[in-house]
Chains A and B, each alone.
Chain A
Amino acid sequence: GDSVTQMEGPVTLSEEAFLTINCTYTATGYPSLFWYVQYPGEGLQLLLKATKADDKGSNKGFEATYRKETTSFHLEKGSVQVSDSAVYFCALESGNTPLVFGKGTRLSVIA
């Protein structure tokens, strides 16, 4: 079945550091790919998405490019802030199946 694998955390970075969180997927069809963020004590929020190969999703300085050849959707940000501390989930949707989530990566940014 469909699956998502993302790098395990926790990831601890200093403010203004570069962030990469790796995500790879396995899917039988042509999935849409998402990054969700969960801030402490809150529910999930959609951060960005990409619906087809080579699409780049971006939001709040975060970017991810849908790479079909490597089945990847890595999350990047050039300069993280303390307020970016959260858990980040990579997810896919394929056909009529509901979202499949990765295990989540906890990011802590220290000043």
Chain B
Amino acid sequence: QKEVEQNSGPLSVPEGAIASLNCTYSDRVSQSFFWYRQYSGKSPELIMSIYSNGDKEDGRFTAQLNKASQYVSLLIRDSQPSDSATYLCAVVGDMDSNYQLIWGAGTKLIIKP
């Protein structure tokens, strides 16, 4: 069974520091990886997509992918209290599954002022 693993947290980070969120996945053929942010009572919001090994930067966010280690991470620089949310890692299944997302359970991030 394909799985995506995340530490549930909560992960507490002081304001202005770097928050590091990690995710591992079990399916070696996975090609597409996503980070979603979900505020309490709201729906998930796509913040990063990554498809190739290495780093991808977008503003304060950097996604890192290592397919050999089956590991994807999200770094948030200069963390702000508004970054406090649950961060969901998701991996796309194959075409036969209609590209269903396989979800991690999410990591709750708390940025302390």
A, B assembled together: no
Residues of A whose CB lies within 8 Å of any CB of B are: none
Residues of B whose CB lies within 8 Å of any CB of A are: none
